[in-house]
């Protein structure tokens, strides 16, 4: 054989590294800090804007009934929707005033849940909920006058429960005063 000794192996070709491949981690970190600063700044503004005094449940219900009246859904042929929204305002009010009257209950479960509460006129509530269910789920046709009456019944129920609630609170305050006076 020729006794030829090969040359040592050469190094690999060095690939030139573009500048953006060297600086992208630094840019990503800078972007993350900028995003964090923006989120914290925005959150600080939102917390200040959210601080409002709570609205009384009865005032809110009356406001919602007024809005529903101004929408005039009954006059434009949306009688079923008007009744459904009025009952929804009633259910929201009851859920706020009576702990057992959770919004997720069906109408029958709601009537059963408030059955022991003396503030609620049970017969009127059961009739209203039954009529509303017939309109919402059985697609029962309804006249304009009947829709207006159901809407007024929902409002009257809220007013009745509120009056009974106020009377109950007043009686509790007087009982507390008497107990305080006896001591």
Most confident listed range (9-18, 43-52, 158-167): 158-167
User: pTM of the entire structure?
Assistant: 0.70
Average pLDDT over residues 58-73: 95
Query: With 90 as the cut, is the pLDDT of residue 41 above it?
Result: no
- Residue 140 makes CB contacts below 8 A (sequence gap 6+) with 134
Residue 6: its pLDDT value, please? 86
Residue 177: its pLDDT value, please? 93
């Amino acid at each position: 054989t020729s006794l030829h000794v090969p040359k040592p192996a050469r190094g690999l070709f060095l690939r030139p590294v573009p500048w953006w491949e060297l600086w992208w981690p630094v840019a990503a970190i800078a972007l993350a800090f900028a995003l964090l600063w923006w989120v914290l700044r925005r959150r600080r503004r939102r917390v200040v804007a959210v601080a409002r005094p709570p609205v009384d449940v009865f005032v809110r219900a009356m406001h919602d009934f007024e809005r529903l009246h101004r929408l005039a859904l009954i006059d434009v042929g949306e009688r079923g929707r008007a009744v459904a929204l009025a009952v929804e305002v009633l259910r929201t009010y009851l859920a706020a005033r009576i702990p057992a009257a959770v919004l997720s209950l069906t109408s029958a479960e709601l009537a059963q849940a408030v059955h022991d509460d003396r503030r609620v006129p049970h017969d009127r509530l059961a009739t209203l909920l039954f009529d509303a269910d017939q309109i919402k789920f059985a697609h029962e046709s309804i006249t304009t006058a009947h829709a207006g009456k159901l809407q007024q019944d929902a409002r009257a129920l809220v007013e009745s429960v509120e009056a009974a609630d106020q009377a109950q609170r007043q009686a509790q305050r007087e009982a507390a005063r008497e107990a305080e006076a006896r001591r």
